[in-house]
Structure 1
Amino acid sequence: MAITVRELAQALDARAWGDLDLPVTGAAEPAATDPVGPQGGTIAMAMAPKYAAALKPGSIAILAEGMDPEALGLRAAILAQRPRLLMAGLTRAFDPGPGIAPGIHPTAIVDPSATIGPDAAIGPFVVIGAGVRIGQGARIGPHVSIGRGTAVGDDALIHAGVRIAHGVTAGDRLIVQPGAVIGGDGFSFVTPEESGIEEIRRTLGSRDAIRQQHWTRIHSLGGVEIGDDVEIGANATIDRGTIRATRVGNGTKIDNLVMLGHNVVVGDDCLLCSQVGIAGSSRVGNRVVLAGQVGVNDNIEIGDDVIAGGASKIFTRVPAGRVILGNPAVRMETQMEIQKAMRRLPRFAQQLAKLQEAVTRLLEKG
C-alpha cells in the first residue's frame, strides 16, 4: 500500500511541505527510515525536536509545527499542531488488520437462529449460539465463541480466541483483543452462617471463634452491557452481573489483563490500564484514568475525572476530579509528602537514638 504525501496530509487534515507527490509506503522510527527513492519510502515519526537528530537527509517525516523540515534536509514533511493525534490517523491508515476473509468460513458453526449482518466476516472455527445478532461489517476472528442471545453491534472487530458468553450486549465498533473473556460468572459465594470475612468487616479484625465454612455459589443472572467505541485488551475479563448487568460506557478503553468484577459500572471514556482490578459492585465515573495495577475495593464509588497513579489501592469513595496515588490511595500531593517523610525516617531514628543517649547520660549524672 502506498499513498502520496499530499493524499496522506489531506486524510490527516494536516499541513504538508516539500515534494508532495512522493509515495509513502509505511511508517517507522527516524533511525529506521532511509532517504526516499523513486518508489517512495516510509515516513519517519519525528514528532519532537529530540527525535529529529536521527533523521536522514532526503527522508520524509512527520514533524511538530515550528520544526524546520528544510533545515533537517528532508524531501517532504507533514506538520501538525498535535503530532500524537496525527499519529493515530497515520497508524490507522497503514494498519492492514487481521485479514479475516469476507463471508462465513465453512468450518464456522452458526446456529440457524442467529442473525448475521450484511458484509460481516466470520473466521475459521467460530461458534455462534442461538439467537445471536452480529451487526453489519463485523469481523469475527478464528476460534471465537459467542453465546446464546448475545448481540454485537456494527463494525465490531473480535480477534482470535475471544470468549463472549450468553446474554451480552455490545455496541458498535467494539474491538476485543485475543483471549479476552466477556460475561463469565461473577465471583459470588455465601456461607450458611456469618463468614470470617463478614465477621472481620464487622469487628475490624478481631475474631470470636474460627469454625469450618462451606461456600455456596450465588449464580450470575445478569449480563454484560458494553457501549459504543469500546476496546477490550488481550486476556481481560469482564464478569456478568448477579442480578443487574455489569456495564461499560461508551468510548472506554480497557487494557490487557484488566479484571472487572460482577455488577461493576464503568462510565464513558475511561482508560483502565493493564492489571487494573475493580471488585464487585463498584462504580467508576466518566473519564476516569486508572493506571497500571490500580486496585479498587468492592462497593465503592469513584467520581468523574479521577486520575489514579500506578499501583494505587483505592479502599474508599473518591470525589470527582481528584488525583490520587499510593496504598492506601490519598491525594497525590499528600502521597508525595508521605514519601518525603519516609525517606527521612532513618535520619530521624539516628537523631532519636542520640537524644536517648544524651538523656540517659543526664539522668545518670543527676
Structure 2
Amino acid sequence: MAHTIRDIAAALGAEADGDLDIVVTRAAEPQSAGPDALALAMDPKYADGIAKGRARAALLWPQADWRALGLQAAIFAPRGRLAMAGLTALMDPGPEIGPGIHPMTVIDPTAEIGEGAAIGPFVTIGRGVRIGPRARIAAHSSIAEGARIGADALILQGARIGARVTIGDRFICQPGAVIGADGFSFVTPEKSGVEEIRETLGTRDSIKTQSWTRIHSLGAVTLGDDVEVGANVCIDRGTIRDTSIGSGTKLDNLVHIGHNVQVGRDCLLCGQVGIAGSARIGDRVVMGGQCGVNDNIFVGDDVIAGGATKIFTNAPAGRVLLGYPAVKMETHVEMQKALRRLPRLAARVAEIEREIGGSVIPKSSQSD
C-alpha cells in the first residue's frame, strides 16, 4: 500500500518538511531502507544508519537536520513509539479474511451475525450466538453457545470462545487463545494437605490419602471494550460469577487468568503472567513477563511489577514491586546489593575467626 509523506504526516498529526509528494510503500530500519521505504530513525543514535541505506524520507526526532542526513523529506516525531503506533496502524494490511461467510462454515440457524462480517473457512458458531457488525473471524475458530461479541471484532486462527462469554467492541484475539474454559477448581471431602499447610505454614500432623472432587464452573467470562488477548492466552470462566477483564486491558501471549479473577481497566499483562483464582487486579496495573499473583489477594491501581515478580500478599495502589516474594523496588535493589556482598562478607568473617582463634590461649596452658 502506497502513501505520500504528506498523507503519513497528516495521519500521525506530525510536522513534515521537504518533498511531501514522495511515495513510500513500507517502513524499514535506516540501514536497510530503499528509495521506496520510510526510514525509522526517531532517535539521534539511529542517524548513522541513514547513510548506510538509500531512503529518501525518514521519520526523525524533532529538529533533526534532515538535509544534512541526505534526505529529501522528513516527518518529525516528538514521541517516537507513539508515532510508531500510528504508522503501523496506517501500513498494516491486516489478516486476509475474505468478505462474507465462507461456505465451509457451520453456523447454527439461531446465531445472529452482524452486517459486514467476514468469516473464514472451518469456523463453527453455536446456538444463540450474537456477533456484532464488521466482525472478522479467521479459519478454524469456534464460538460456543450463547456467546456475545461486539462490533469490529478480529478473531484469528484457531481461537476458542466458550459458552456464554460476553465480549465488548473492538476485540482483538490472536491465534490459539481460549476464553471461557472451565476453572481449575477442586475440593477434597476432608481438609486437604494444602488447607492444612496454609493454616500452619508448614507443619503437618499426618499425611492422608486424598482424592479431588470437581467444582463445576457455572459462571462465564466478561471482557470490556478494546480488550486484546495474545496467542495461547487462557481465561477461565468463573465458578458462580464471571471472570472479568476491564476495557482497554491488553494480555500478551501465554497469559493465564484463573477462575473468578477480576482485572481492571487499561492493564498491561506481559508474556507468561499467571493470576490465580479470585485475585483482584486494579486499574492500569502493569506486570512484566512471568509475574505471578496468588489467589484471593488484591493488587491496587497503578501497581507496576517487574519481570518474574511473585505477589503473595495484597499490594497497595501505586506500589512498584520486584522480586520473589514481591517487595518494594528500592528494597529489592538493596537486597540484591547485599547479596552480591555476601562472598566478601563470608571471607571477612572467616578471616576474623582465624585471627580470634589464633589469639586465644588454650585452657591447658593457663595458670591458676
TM-score range, shorter chain: over 0.9
- Structure-2 change in CA distance of 1:163 and 1:58 (3 Å): closer
Q: 1:54 maps to which residue?
A: 49
- Distance in structure 2 (CA, Å) of the matches to 1:113 and 1:178: 26
Residue 288 of structure 1 deviates from its aligned partner by: 0.4
- Distance in structure 1 (CA, Å) of the matches to 2:190 and 2:225: 43
- Distance in structure 2 (CA, Å) of the matches to 1:354 and 1:32: 59
Q: 2:329 maps to which residue?
A: 332
Q: 1:141 maps to which residue?
A: 138
- Distance in structure 2 (CA, Å) of the matches to 1:322 and 1:178: 33
Structure 1: gaps of 5 or more residues? none
- Structure-2 change in CA distance of 1:214 and 1:58 (3 Å): closer
Partner SS for 2:360:
helix
- Distance in structure 2 (CA, Å) of the matches to 1:363 and 1:217: 67
Partner SS for 1:364:
coil
Q: 2:40 maps to which residue?
A: 45
Partner SS for 1:305:
coil
- 1:21-36 equivalences under 5 Å are 21-34=21-34, 36=35
**Matched AA of 1:107:** M
- Distance in structure 1 (CA, Å) of the matches to 2:132 and 2:361: 87
**Matched AA of 1:270:** C
Q: 1:219 maps to which residue?
A: 216
Q: 1:20 maps to which residue?
A: 20
Residue 12 of structure 1 deviates from its aligned partner by: 1.2
- Distance in structure 1 (CA, Å) of the matches to 2:336 and 2:361: 38
Q: 1:310 maps to which residue?
A: 307
**Matched AA of 1:206:** T
Match of 2:283 among 282, 286, 289: 286
- Distance in structure 2 (CA, Å) of the matches to 1:364 and 1:18: 89
Match of 1:188 among 165, 185, 188: 185
Partner SS for 1:247:
strand
Partner SS for 1:77:
strand
- Distance in structure 2 (CA, Å) of the matches to 1:152 and 1:69: 47
**Matched AA of 1:266:** V
Partner SS for 2:321:
strand
Residue 133 of structure 1 deviates from its aligned partner by: 0.6
- Structure-2 change in CA distance of 1:58 and 1:28 (3 Å): closer
Residue correspondences, number: 361
**Matched AA of 1:86:** A
- Distance in structure 2 (CA, Å) of the matches to 1:49 and 1:71: 13
1:113 aligns with 2:99: no
1:94 aligns with 2:97: no
Partner SS for 2:207:
coil
- Distance in structure 1 (CA, Å) of the matches to 2:245 and 2:68: 48
- Distance in structure 1 (CA, Å) of the matches to 2:108 and 2:44: 56
1:197 aligns with 2:194: yes
* TM-score for both structures, normalised by structure 2: 0.97
User: Please, what is the CA RMSD of the aligned residues?
Assistant: 0.9
Q: 1:131 maps to which residue?
A: 128
Q: Provide, for residues 81-129 of structure 1, a one-character-per-residue CA deviation record: whole Å limited to 9, x for no partner.
A: 1121111111111111111011110001000000000001111000000
- Distance in structure 2 (CA, Å) of the matches to 1:255 and 1:12: 26
Partner SS for 1:351:
helix
- Distance in structure 2 (CA, Å) of the matches to 1:58 and 1:347: 54
Instruction: Work out the percentage of aligned pairs sharing the same amino acid.
Output: 62
1:9 aligns with 2:4: no
**Matched AA of 1:194:** K
Q: 1:295 maps to which residue?
A: 292
Partner SS for 1:87:
helix
1:271 aligns with 2:268: yes
* TM-score for both structures, normalised by structure 1: 0.97
Partner SS for 2:50:
coil
- Distance in structure 2 (CA, Å) of the matches to 1:358 and 1:23: 79
Residue 58 of structure 1 deviates from its aligned partner by: 5.3
Contact 2:39–2:55 under 8 Å retained in 1: no
Residue 66 of structure 1 deviates from its aligned partner by: 2.2
Partner SS for 1:53:
helix
**Matched AA of 1:20:** L
